[in-house]
Structure 1
Amino acid sequence: MTRARRQTLRLALIGWGAISRRIAALLAGASDIGIVAVGVRNAAGAADIPAGARLVTDPQALAGLDLDLVVEAAGREAVALWGEAALTHAAAVAVASTSAFCDTALLDRLLETAQAHGSQLLIPPGALAGIDGIAAASLLPLDAVVHRIVKPPEAWRGTAAEGLVALDGLTRPATFFSGTAREAASRFPQNANVAVISALAGIGLDRTRVELVADPAAGGNGHQLSVRGAFGKLDLAIENRPLATNPKSSEMTALGLVRLIENRIRPLVR
């Protein structure tokens, strides 16, 4: 028996910042993916949304849009604002601002909503590689996960890092934070948001260790993952180019979201 498959994926983006704009640009021309809505808090900054997309400012306006997927890329506060409505009115919701999941009550509430409506809460790979390997390895006991985030000084400007290290005039790498993934993502939601992804894939927010580094020699935004457990050992390093319009984010973040979107509709999932 042949199973019917929708020919066009109906997608809504929450947020119209650097990541959402990059996603839209990468998907331009895709005949099997349609951006049918863009959700924002302030409509004034979203005049140039994709042609044919509906601009919405009220989460309940997602109702009736027959959405297959909602992708959030609007910041931590947006997850609480849009999450439950999105999970109620769409088959799946991918959350880029994963630092929101440091709030355990919020995560539990979203999971309850997904369970009640038969939808899925998706955690994208963000700027990382190897997340599928960590998640698979976690089926057996894991002993340790260490996530080291290395970025050039300019990527840490405007964050709490400025109160911990003199970013101007650095001549060598400076590790200015060492703690749990929960602490890192809570204190540095723009830069260490990705630590929640490695934590949820492996041993959780309070056992995953995170180190934050400002390195004047860094050519991009780097992540070094070290995992030890019953499966064996995993060591991985990736250095991403920063997003041209936002140096705190990586190009790979948008690329990973596009791959997630394509995998919801394309016959070959990779």
Structure 2
Amino acid sequence: MSVSESRRLRLCFVGWGAIASRVGELLAERQPAGVEIVAVAVRDPQRQRTALPQGARLIGGPDELAGLDVDMVIEVAGRPAVAIWGEAALRHASSFVVSSASAFTDDALLGLLLAVAEKTGSRIVVPSGALGELGALAAASALPLDEVQHTIVKPPLAWKGTRAAEMIDLDRLARRIEFFAGTARQAAEAFPQNANVAVISALSGIGLDRTRVVLVADPSAARNIHEISAAGAFGKLDLRLENEPLRTNPKSSEMTALSLVRLIENAVAPLVR
């Protein structure tokens, strides 16, 4: 087998919403060698769809992963999909990429999937999503961490359709308001779409119950902002990202799709960056 043949990557996406379709669009533009989207899992595969990857097969259930010879299953369908597809993904692919990290606030589910991954030799991969890269925080956690805080600031529009609308008047907001403060577990449970990313920072650092999360609605914010601060034996870290919202879904960031593209390309690249 040649080096190029060994670097093939056959992908199955679970979900084909705003994030997945953006990833597909970027992969089609960039055409990384060896990468092929061979399947897309959806709830109703019989429904006609446009803009699907050329040649991709539509599937409707986890049992259909058998025989597809996929290398990586990428979940981008929301928290319930992690439990539905997780075991099958870990049995039929070498990697299961979980974008809806809020599913891991369920300790029993996480324990089950870790046990399956251990048995099959597959891996659960949590991408950095809207945070871009958390290597520094993950490295710092090798020594004791004293504190980690993750502040998420978004325009009022991005909080519509969430519990924030019950807590503050998003339509008439005239100034920045911190409407939630709690642990990463609490934030992800209460705001699974908007604060899903808090689980990512928590898993990279000191865990779901020690990571403090603050949620903010700010009418002056033009982008989705993440501010992460950490302190511990390594020193002090301050990270700030201002992400453009995804054009088709303001609750998500363009960086969420870009981080998945980077993860996919690094899986086949001769130089990992």
| Same fold (TM > 0.5) | yes
Structure 1: unaligned runs, 5 residues or longer: none
Pairing 1:96-135 to 2, within 5 Å after superposition: 96-135=99-138
Letter in 1 for 2:123: Q
Which residue does the alignment assign to 1:156?
Answer: 159
Which residue does the alignment assign to 2:62?
Answer: 59
Which residue does the alignment assign to 1:183?
Answer: 186
Which residue does the alignment assign to 1:47?
Answer: 49
Structure 2 distance, partners of 1:153, 1:45, is: 34
Task: Pick from 136, 139, 142 the counterpart of residue 145 of structure 2.
Answer: 142
Letter in 2 for 1:166: D
For the residue of structure 2 that corresponds to 1:108, the secondary structure is helix
Q: CA RMSD in A?
A: 1.3
Task: Pick from 67, 75, 86 the counterpart of residue 78 of structure 2.
Answer: 75
Structure 2: unaligned runs, 5 residues or longer: none
**Is 2:177 aligned against 1:169?**
no
Letter in 2 for 1:21: S
Instruction: For residue 138 of structure 1, report the CA deviation from its aligned partner.
Output: 0.2
For the residue of structure 2 that corresponds to 1:225, the secondary structure is strand
Instruction: For residue 46 of structure 1, report the CA deviation from its aligned partner.
Output: 6.0
Change in CA separation of 1:151 and 1:46 when aligned onto 2, cut-off 3 Å: farther
With structure 1 as the length reference, what TM-score do the two structures score? 0.97
Task: Pick from 13, 23, 30 the counterpart of residue 32 of structure 2.
Answer: 30
**Is 2:234 aligned against 1:227?**
no
Instruction: For residue 42 of structure 1, report the CA deviation from its aligned partner.
Output: 2.0
Instruction: For residue 166 of structure 1, report the CA deviation from its aligned partner.
Output: 1.1
Instruction: For residue 45 of structure 1, report the CA deviation from its aligned partner.
Output: 5.2
**Is 2:84 aligned against 1:93?**
no
**Is 2:232 aligned against 1:259?**
no
Which residue does the alignment assign to 1:13?
Answer: 13
Contact residue 40 and residue 46 of structure 1 kept, 8 A? no
Aligned length: 269
Change in CA separation of 1:112 and 1:42 when aligned onto 2, cut-off 3 Å: same
Give CA-to-partner distance per residue, 1:165-201, whole Å, 9 cap, x none.
Answer: 1112212110000000000000000100000000000
Change in CA separation of 1:143 and 1:46 when aligned onto 2, cut-off 3 Å: farther
Letter in 2 for 1:63: A
Contact residue 194 and residue 251 of structure 2 kept, 8 A? yes
Contact residue 16 and residue 46 of structure 1 kept, 8 A? no
For the residue of structure 1 that corresponds to 2:268, the secondary structure is coil
Structure 2 distance, partners of 1:26, 1:14, is: 17
With structure 2 as the length reference, what TM-score do the two structures score? 0.96
Structure 1 distance, partners of 2:93, 2:12, is: 9
